[in-house]
Amino acid sequence: MPALLVQDVMTRNQFREYRLFGRRLGSPLSPRQQRLIDELLPQVQVDNSAVYKDGGQLTELFCGMFTRFHLEIGFGGAEHLIWQAKRAKDVGFIGCEPFINGVVKLLTAIEEAKLDNIRICDDDARDLLDRLPESCLEKVYVLFPDPWPKKRHHKRRFINQQTLNQLARVMKSRAHLCFASDIADYIGWTQDHIADNRNFELVDMEPLERPRTRYEEKAVRAGRPSTYLTIACIK
């Protein structure tokens, strides 16, 4: 698979009416980070043009090692994804994150901890969902996504009817969508969208067992309580 070219990160997804994520690149990459992008990313990268028609093809993405799969959309600094991958070594994890600096943090952990059960999609999660086989995911995580707080930007929120229908297609029956946010308006937005979608139902609001992400730590310091939704796929 071709290595990600940093100079090309702003040219993808132009066919979409709008993006659900913000900037693609933050601080400049160090020489070591650029090496990880050039050398390690192609080894663990989801081919952004491949269509995985069945579970067997998805298994091949992980060199035949796994038949169970979880997806994290917008893994940020990758704290949660790394913890999960170390904890559940019999599961293949796909992490989707367009922010290159976040991708580099995950690549660093993959190299240092020799994690072989993570694959990275550095593109729009909607495109990935279109290309995954039906009923392939046991769990999906959307933790502290960009809240797009301005009303005119609400259409950019990841949780909407279109993406929920995409998720319903690729999730197994009774699989869980785990959502968390410290923005009360986004929690209400998500609950309303779940109530309006026949493929999902809210089953729990207890915190997940996991480490705090850097975004959650920021919310704690700011005094903003977080809410956790466990949502079952009931197709």
Q: Give the number of other CB atoms < 10 A from CB of residue 150.
A: 8
Q: Which single residue is written with the structure tokens 């310091």?
A: 221
Whether 75 maps to a domain, the answer reads yes
**pLDDT in the model for residue 173:** 97
pTM of the predicted structure, to 2 decimals: 0.88
The CATH number given to whatever domain includes residue 157 is: 3.40.50.150
Whether 142 maps to a domain, the answer reads yes
Contact assessment for residue 119 and residue 145, using Cβ atoms and an 8 Å cutoff: no
Whether 107 maps to a domain, the answer reads yes
Whether 25 maps to a domain, the answer reads no
Q: Which single residue is written with the structure tokens 């170390």?
A: 86
**pLDDT in the model for residue 15:** 41
Whether 165 maps to a domain, the answer reads yes
Whether 24 maps to a domain, the answer reads no
**pLDDT in the model for residue 160:** 96
Binned average pLDDT, 10 residues per bin, the chain of 235 residues: 38 49 69 96 92 87 94 96 97 96 96 98 93 96 92 92 97 97 96 98 89 86 94 95
- From the CA atom positions of the chain, what is the Rg in Å? 17
Identify the domain containing residue 136 by its residue range. 52-233
Q: Which single residue is written with the structure tokens 């996991």?
A: 210
Q: Which single residue is written with the structure tokens 């790394």?
A: 82
The sheet with strand 69-73 has its strands ordered as 118-121, 92-96, 69-73, 137-143, 171-181, 227-233, 200-204
Whether 5 maps to a domain, the answer reads no
Q: Are strands 227-233 and 171-181 parallel, antiparallel or unpaired?
A: antiparallel
Whether 28 maps to a domain, the answer reads no
Catalytic residue list contains 90: no
**pLDDT in the model for residue 24:** 62
**pLDDT in the model for residue 133:** 95
Q: Give the integer Cα–Cα distance in Å for 109 and 30.
A: 16
> In the chain, how many domains are there?
1
Q: Which of 146, 185, 196, 204 is catalytic?
A: 146
**pLDDT in the model for residue 26:** 63
